[in-house]
A = this chain, B = another copy of it.
Amino acid sequence: RDERITLSHGSGGKATHNLIEGVFAPAFSNPMLDVMDDSAVFCVNDGPKLAFTTDTYVVSPLFFPGGDIGKLAVHGTINDLAMAGAKPLYLSAGFILEEGFPIEDLRKIVASMAQAAREAGIAIVTGDTKVVQRGKADGLFINTAGVGQVIATHDMGQNFLRPGDKVLLSGPIGDHGIAIMLAREALEIETDVESDTAPLHTLVEALLSSLGNAVHTLKDPTRGGVATALNEMAMSSEVSIGLEEHAIPVHAGVRGACEILGLDPLTIANEGKLLAIVAPEQAEAALQIMRAHPLGREAALIGTVQAEPPGMVFLHTDIGGMRVLDMLVGDPLPRIC
């Protein structure tokens, strides 16, 4: 066989999913990894429950409206810890630098990481610095791994969806992906779209402290967007999810850019949004809690979990139709994070 890595393997959508399921998951298999949640969760001896996660950031360009790779690298890992119901505590930072990279730009990125960490109340406690020859990287790549303490007192995860549950979204989608896209290509599109990059742990804390085990799953719809995140949950929990298109908030600038570019906002990456799947009786309360938080002001109830047919997501469209909503296929926007 002569299979090779394609850009689609990095989309966060179907090809990524297949690569992980086909290559990494079987080789590394263990109970913490196998659930394929945003973070691994474990205890060390009789210590508190911990969450542990990692993401590498290869976004291009390095600086974009609303942020930069450093800020993203801090927020992204904070958010994967938060999705496990954890209070983020400590981050590692591993840098790959390309020979010739301006140290002034490195300083800016490092300052931005430090500020993001400070604002989120976490510390970058360990790091690593590698350099590769000119032409063997693209300026700079950053990996962050994170450790947090799980504050959720019940088990959560993408296999905890139950028929009847409500699907909540913390705000408008697609801002991050479209901001990167517009920063990259010199397109003739006039918009003021900015990345939504933000740390979601205080929003999670608010939800968990009020609603406890009514929160069945939390997930940040990053690469692959809301469509991919919900498909993964539906498969993992063997349930169906029905979405109401009209209920899904999308900023006008994002909607416009998506129309021009032929993209679906539901498959575009977000970096400051979360999906919360909650017990139906607490859906309204969850919505109020989100809306009272600065990062959830435009939160919406966008759908419902159903029993049948398992593993599928449906979209009830604005014009009264219904279509299957698949994971992201291909990679329309490579190197979005």
> Is A172 interfacial (CB 8 A cutoff)?
no
> Is A160 interfacial (CB 8 A cutoff)?
no
| CB-based contact B28/A129 at 8 Å | no
> Is A335 interfacial (CB 8 A cutoff)?
yes
| CB-based contact A28/B113 at 8 Å | yes
Neighbouring B residues of A141 by C-beta, 8 Å = 96, 137, 141
> Is A334 interfacial (CB 8 A cutoff)?
yes
Write the nearest CB–CB distance from A80 to chain B, whole angstroms: 8
From B3, B89, B143, B149, give the contact of A143 (CB < 8 A): B143
Binary flags per residue of A36-78, CB closer than 8 Å to B gives 1, else 0: 0001101011111010111111100000000000000000000
Assembled-state Cα–Cα distance A53/B143 (Å): 12
Given contacts A54-B94, A89-B44, contact A9 B128 (CB under 8 A): no
Specify the chain B residue showing the minimal Cβ separation from A92.
Answer: B54
From B57, B92, B136, give the contact of A145 (CB < 8 A): B92
Specify the chain B residue showing the minimal Cβ separation from A97.
Answer: B5
> Is A123 interfacial (CB 8 A cutoff)?
yes
Assembled-state Cα–Cα distance A40/B92 (Å): 9
Neighbouring B residues of A135 by C-beta, 8 Å = 135
From B2, B8, B33, B95, give the contact of A127 (CB < 8 A): B33
| CB-based contact A143/B56 at 8 Å | yes
From B16, B30, B127, give the contact of A28 (CB < 8 A): B127
Assembled-state Cα–Cα distance A186/B266 (Å): 51
| CB-based contact A125/B7 at 8 Å | no
| CB-based contact B126/A32 at 8 Å | yes
| CB-based contact A10/B130 at 8 Å | yes
Specify the chain B residue showing the minimal Cβ separation from A43.
Answer: B47
Given contacts A90-B40, A137-B136, contact A20 B129 (CB under 8 A): yes
| CB-based contact B27/A111 at 8 Å | yes
Assembled-state Cα–Cα distance A93/B108 (Å): 27
Q: Which of A79-127 contact B (CB under 8 A)?
A: 89-90, 92-104, 106-107, 110-111, 113-114, 117, 123-127
Q: Which of A211-250 contact B (CB under 8 A)?
A: none
> Is A138 interfacial (CB 8 A cutoff)?
yes
> Is A260 interfacial (CB 8 A cutoff)?
no
| CB-based contact A104/B3 at 8 Å | yes
Assembled-state Cα–Cα distance A136/B258 (Å): 27
Q: Which of A132-163 contact B (CB under 8 A)?
A: 132-133, 135-138, 141, 143, 145, 147, 149
> Is A131 interfacial (CB 8 A cutoff)?
yes
| CB-based contact A126/B23 at 8 Å | no
Neighbouring B residues of A101 by C-beta, 8 Å = 4-5
Binary flags per residue of A3-36, CB closer than 8 Å to B gives 1, else 0: 1111111100000100110011001101011000
14 A-B residue pairs with CB within 8 Å: A1-B104, A5-B98, A5-B99, A5-B101, A5-B131, A23-B107, A24-B93, A33-B123, A46-B48, A52-B126, A53-B92, A94-B94, A94-B143, A137-B141
A residues whose Cβ falls under 8 Å from a Cβ of B: 1-10, 16, 19-20, 23-24, 27-28, 30, 32-33, 39-40, 42, 44-48, 50, 52-58, 89-90, 92-104, 106-107, 110-111, 113-114, 117, 123-133, 135-138, 141, 143, 145, 147, 149, 334-335
